[in-house]
Amino acid sequence: MIDRTDQERPTTAHAGRPPRPRAWAAPVRAMSRILNADGSPRTPTPTGPGRSGVVDCALYVDGRRQPGRWHYADALEAARKERDAFVWIGLHEPELTEMSAIAETYGLHELAVEDAVKAQQRPKLERFGEVAFLVLRTARYCEHTELTEYSEVVETGQVMLFIGPNFLISVRHGDACRLAAVRADLETRHDLLVHGPWAVAYAVTDRVVDLYLEVADRLEDDLDVLEADVFDRQSTGRIQRIYQMKRELVEFKRAVIPLQRPLMTLTAQANREVPEEVRRYFRDVQDHLSRTVEQVNSYDDLLNSILQARLAQVTVDQNNDMRKIAAWAAIAAVWTAFAGVYGMNFENMPELKWTYGYPGVLALMLTISLALYRWFRRNGWL
């Protein structure tokens, strides 16, 4: 939710930028030492173990990408000199040092920077001065030949967007939603890209929600297979698989459902920060998200029904087993009763002196057992 309260807005120092935290002083000094003396564009500086989190940095003027490789500081300076120009920086799992240097250059709030590096946020929309901070959770369907109790069905990640007056910084964590295809597709739509950073925010959000739809459709196929397997008489239908599917669905719900509120804020008529034309596109994304939310909720209800049905089947199977055990115990009790009576060793017992007493008693016990067996079979106990 966008917070417009004056109390939570950072105090601006110049050009709408918040004051520089002391923690950023060291990264800024380190960046200043590696600037080219001739003022030529600089390439991103690797951080961490020989890598840079900057995947791509581009300058757009009038909806068209400008040629050349740009350092993020040079690109921002050029964008401020041009009309209808903005910078799009794409980052992938940046280190805190590099992210802090970018934040110092672009005037990002330290709380949003910390969230972007840790990547443990739920979908939300916040505002820090002139910069909007949009958090999206991405999801991707994981292919699997068979659903087991260890199958990973949905892979999730995060994309954070810093949307400023003349820049957009996208920070991606995980590989659930790569943004290279989004950038390539958007660069062919100059009529949309001319609307600036919010057009990029729409394109990224639209891609994330489209992946939601794909995941939802594939989950429906898995649920159909799981449902058929549970009600198949020839299948065991292990309940662990249902619990695993339930966990994966809960993870997917955590990505989809909280995004409704940020989109409602972006599409509201009172929101004048997003261009009207871009708000129309966001409304289309909101419709797609609503469809996904309905699907996820219906899948949750269906999965609960499948789980309850399987638990009922387990209970019925246990009752059937208990009836079979009781029936065989009743049959065995006949032999136990006869053996117990004739094992008491009394002198005057019936048929003790009879020549055919032993086979006669065996025949009687067998006859009673067969009668009980037929009676239990007729009543469905065996």
Q: Which domain holds residue 373?
A: 318-378
How are beta strands 167-173 and 85-92 bridged, if at all? parallel
Q: Is 45 helix (H, G, I), strand (E, B) or coil?
A: coil
On whether both 253 and 325 belong to a single domain, the answer is: no
Q: What is the CA radius of gyration of the chain?
A: 35
CA atoms within 13 A on the CB side of 13: 9
Largest Cα–Cα separation, the chain: 125
- The span from the CA of 365 to the CA of 367, in Å, is 5
On whether both 71 and 219 belong to a single domain, the answer is: yes
Q: Please say which residue of 313, 328, 357 terminates a domain.
A: 313
pLDDT tens for the 382 residues of the chain, in order: 344 333 333 333 333 334 444 344 344 333 433 343 334 444 444 444 446 789 999 999 999 999 989 999 999 999 999 888 999 999 999 999 999 999 999 999 999 999 999 888 899 999 999 999 999 999 999 988 877 777 889 999 999 999 999 999 999 999 889 999 999 999 999 999 999 999 999 999 999 999 999 999 999 988 888 888 877 766 555 778 888 888 899 999 999 999 999 999 999 877 788 888 999 999 999 999 999 999 999 998 988 888 888 777 777 777 777 878 888 888 788 778 777 777 766 666 666 667 777 777 788 888 888 888 888 788 777 7
CA angle 311, 229, 241 (to 5 degrees): 60
Q: Which two tokens stand for residue 135?
A: 């958090």
Q: Is 149 helix (H, G, I), strand (E, B) or coil?
A: coil
Residue 77 domain-assigned (yes or no): yes
Q: Which two tokens stand for residue 334?
A: 């006949």
Cross-strand bridge partners of residue 157: 138
Buried b (16+ CB within 10 A) or exposed e, 346-355: eeeeeeeeee
C-beta separation of 125 from 273 below 8 A: no
Q: Please say which residue of 263, 294, 313 terminates a domain.
A: 313
CA-closest candidate to residue 124, choices 259, 254, 251: 259
- The span from the CA of 299 to the CA of 311, in Å, is 18
pLDDT computed for residue 348 by the predictor: 65
pLDDT computed for residue 13 by the predictor: 35
On whether both 33 and 145 belong to a single domain, the answer is: yes
Number of domains in the chain: 2
On whether both 292 and 353 belong to a single domain, the answer is: no
Stated pTM of the model: 0.71
Quick one: how many helices (H) and strands (E) in the chain?
11, 7
On whether both 250 and 368 belong to a single domain, the answer is: no
pLDDT computed for residue 345 by the predictor: 67
CA angle 160, 96, 129 (to 5 degrees): 50
Q: Can you point out the beta strands (E) in the chain?
A: 54-61, 64-65, 85-92, 124-128, 131-141, 154-163, 167-173
Q: Please say which residue of 294, 313, 332 terminates a domain.
A: 313
Cross-strand bridge partners of residue 156: 139
End-to-end alpha carbon distance in the chain: 64
CATH number of the domain enclosing 221: 3.30.460.20
Inter-CA distances, 71 with 44, 62, 188, Å: 6, 20, 23
Q: Which two tokens stand for residue 346?
A: 């009394």
Q: Can you point out the beta strands (E) in 219-349?
A: none
Q: Which two tokens stand for residue 186?
A: 């958007």
6 secondary structure, DSSP code: G
Q: Which two tokens stand for residue 59?
A: 């300058």
Residue 1 domain-assigned (yes or no): no
On whether both 51 and 64 belong to a single domain, the answer is: yes
Task: State the sign of the Cα–Cα–Cα–Cα dihedral 22, 23, 26, 28.
Answer: negative
Residue 305 domain-assigned (yes or no): yes
On whether both 260 and 350 belong to a single domain, the answer is: no
On whether both 214 and 132 belong to a single domain, the answer is: yes
- The span from the CA of 203 to the CA of 180, in Å, is 12
Task: State the sign of the Cα–Cα–Cα–Cα dihedral 174, 200, 121, 8.
Answer: positive
On whether both 129 and 224 belong to a single domain, the answer is: yes
